[in-house]
């Protein structure tokens, strides 16, 4: 299972193993990162699962779709290269070693 390295909203750093088949949001939430609110449940409707991907990884992930782009681009913490809604990223083995930071609350 791919290992994901997380810097949480309070600055604390930790790693966990994410199960392929879930979305990154579901994996984060299930691993106990309660700062990932994901209020809409992964529907790409709310932008409360916003994470900032390590710049080295930006090109590895599939690009943002239009609706993800619309939502995330209007958040205060938006970073054109790094911002992603974690509910829109499928966990695969290719994510092994991914580093991300939970975005500040909007």
Partner 1 sequence: MHVVIVGGGQAAQQTIASLRQGGFDGRLTLVGDEPVLPYQRPPLSKAYMLGELPAERLPLRPEPWYTERRVDLLLGRRVTAIDRSARRVQLDDGGALAYDRLVLATGARPRPLPVPVAAPDAVFDLRSLADVEGIRAGLQAGRRLVIVGGGYIGLEAAAVAHSLGLDVTVLERAERLLARVASPTLSEFYRQQHSRRGVAIRTGAQLTAVEAGGDGGLVTPVLASGERLAADLVLTGIGILPNAEMAAEAGLDVAEGIVVDRDARTSDPLIFAAGDCTRRPLVHHGGHGRLESVHNAVEQGKLAAAAILDQPRPAEDCPWFWSDQYDLKLQIAGLAAGSDHTVVRGEPEAGRFALFYFAGDRLRAVEAVNSAPEFLAAKKLIPAGARLDATAVADTSVKMRDLAAAALAAA
Site pattern 59..78 for partner 1 (x: CB under 8 A): --------x--xx-xxx---
Give which of 101, 81, 86 is closest to 26, Cα–Cα: 86
Taking the complex as a whole, the smallest distance from the CB of residue 8 to partner 1 amounts, in Å, to 11
Taking the complex as a whole, the smallest distance from the CB of residue 54 to partner 1 amounts, in Å, to 25
Taking the complex as a whole, the smallest distance from the CB of residue 30 to partner 1 amounts, in Å, to 5
Q: Decide if residue 12 touches partner 1 (CB under 8 A).
A: no
Q: Decide if residue 17 touches partner 1 (CB under 8 A).
A: no
Footprint of partner 1 (CB under 8 A): 22, 26, 29-30, 32, 34, 37, 39-41, 43-47, 67, 70-71, 73-75
């Amino acid at each position: 299972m791919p290992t994901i390295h997380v810097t949480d909203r309070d600055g604390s750093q930790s790693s966990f193993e994410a199960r392929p088949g879930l979305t990154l949001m579901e994996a984060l939430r299930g691993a106990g990162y309660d700062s990932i609110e994901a209020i809409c449940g992964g529907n790409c409707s709310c932008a409360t699962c916003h994470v900032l991907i390590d710049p080295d990884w930006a090109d590895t992930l599939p690009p943002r779709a239009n609706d993800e782009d619309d939502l995330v681009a209007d958040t205060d913490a938006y970073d054109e290269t790094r911002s992603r809604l974690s509910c829109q990223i499928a966990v695969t083995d290719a994510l092994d070693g991914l580093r991300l930071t939970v975005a500040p609350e909007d």
